[in-house]
Chains A and B, each alone.
Chain A
Amino acid sequence: MKVLVTGATGFIGRRLIRHLLGAGHSVVAAVRRPAPEFDPAHVTVAELRLDDRDALARAMAGCGAVIHLAVATGTTSEREAYEVNVVATEHLLAAARQAGVGRFLFASTISATRERMGPYGRTKRIAEERVAASGIPWCTLRPSLVYGGREGLVANLSAYLRGLPVIPVMGDGSIELDPIHVDDVCAAFLTALTEDRVLGRAYDLLGPDRVTFNQFLDRLAAGLGVRRPYLHIPGPVALMMARVLALVFKRPPITEDNVLGMISPARVDRGPAVRDFPFRWTTLDQGLLGRSAHPPAPLPAASVTRPAPARPLRVAIVGLGKMGMVHGSVLGMMPDVELVGFIDRLPGMAKTLYGMGHRAPFFASLEDALRLARPDAVWICTPPDSHAALTELAARAGVAVFVEKPLAHRLEDALRIETLAREGTVPIACGYAQLYFPAFSAAREALEAGALGALHRVRSSMFLSQVFGPQKGWISDPARSGGGVVANLSSHLLAQLRAAFGQPVRVRATWKKLHGAVEDELSGVLTRADGVEIGFESSWSVPDYPISSTVIEAEGENGTLRITNDTCTFDLREARAGLPAGSTLRRAADLPARATFELNGEFYDLEDAEFLAWVAGGPKPRIEAGLGADVQRTMTALYASAAAGGGEVEVSR
Chain B
Amino acid sequence: MNGNGGPRLLLSTEALLGITRHSREHTLEVKRRFDSGAALAAALGTALDRGVDGVLLTPSTSSREALSGLTRRVPVWALVPNVPQFARDSSELGLPGAALKRLRGAAPGTFLRLGLTGASHALDVLKNDTAGMAPILIELELASLGAPHLEGVLMAATLTDLALAGGHRRFFAHVTDFVRSRYGVRAGFETHNLGHLLRALREWKVAPDLVVGPLNRRGFMMKPDAESTLRELGASRIPVIAKELTAGGAIDLAEGAAWARAHGARGIVADLADLDPDLNGLAALRV
Binding site for B on A (CB under 8 A): 24, 297-298, 300-301, 303, 325, 328-330, 332-333, 348, 351-358, 465-473, 475, 544-547, 549, 564, 566-567, 587-590, 593, 595-600
Contacts and interface: CB of A to CB of B under 8 A. Distances in A.
A596 B225 contact: yes
A466 B250 contact: no
20 contacts: A300-B219, A301-B218, A330-B165, A332-B166, A332-B167, A348-B128, A354-B129, A355-B128, A356-B163, A357-B170, A472-B92, A564-B23, A587-B21, A589-B220, A590-B250, A597-B161, A598-B192, A598-B193, A598-B223, A599-B192
B94 A472 contact: yes
B129 A599 contact: no
A298 B250 contact: yes
Contacts of A357: 130, 163, 165-171
B247 interface: yes
Nearest to B227: A303
A300 B285 CA distance: 23
A544 B31 contact: yes
Contacts of B196: 333, 597
B127 A587 contact: no
From DSSP, what is the main secondary structure of chain A's interface residues?
Answer: loop
A598 B222 CA distance: 9
Contact of A472 (B19, B91, B170, B224): B91
Contact of B218 (A328, A348, A589): A589
Contact of B248 (A297, A330, A589): A589
Contacts of A544: 18, 28, 31
B179 interface: no
Interface centre among A300, A470, A546, A549 (most CB of B within 10 A): A546
Contacts of A358: 165-167
B250 A356 contact: no
Nearest to A465: B88
A597 B193 contact: yes
B24 interface: yes
A303 B225 contact: yes
Contacts of B94: 472
Interface string B116-135: 00000000000111100100
A362 B92 CA distance: 29
B162 interface: yes
A566 B25 CA distance: 13
Interface string B200-225: 00000000000000001111111111
B234 interface: no
Given A332-B167, A546-B84, A355 B133 contact: yes
Nearest to A549: B24
Contacts of A353: 166
B249 A587 contact: yes
A564 B128 CA distance: 37
Contacts of A297: 250
B223 A589 contact: no
Contact of B127 (A301, A354, A465, A595): A354
Interface of B: 17-19, 21, 23-24, 28, 31, 84, 87-88, 91-92, 94, 127-130, 133, 158, 161-171, 192-193, 196, 216-227, 247-251
Interface centre among B21, B24, B164, B219 (most CB of A within 10 A): B24
A595 B18 CA distance: 23
B224 A329 contact: no
Contacts of B249: 587
B218 A325 contact: no
A332 B24 contact: no
A300 B216 CA distance: 11
B84 A547 contact: yes
B165 A332 contact: yes
A170 to B, nearest CB: 45
B224 to A, nearest CB: 4
B226 A599 contact: no
Nearest to A601: B192
A599 B248 contact: no
Interface centre among A24, A301, A328, A465 (most CB of B within 10 A): A301
Given A300-B218, A597-B223, A588 B165 contact: no
Contact of B91 (A471, A567, A600): A471
A547 B22 CA distance: 13
B232 to A, nearest CB: 13
Contacts of B193: 597-598
Contacts of B19: 546-547
A317 B221 CA distance: 27
Contacts of B171: 356-357
Contacts of A546: 17-19, 84
Given A303-B225, A598-B192, A598-B193, A589 B247 contact: yes
Contact of B220 (A333, A549, A593, A597): A593
Contacts of A567: 23
Nearest to A546: B18
A595 B223 contact: yes
Contacts of A332: 165-167
A15 B124 CA distance: 60
Given A547-B84, A587-B248, A354 B128 contact: yes
Contacts of B92: 468-472
Contacts of A566: 21, 23, 248
A564 B248 CA distance: 13
Nearest to B21: A566
B248 A588 contact: yes
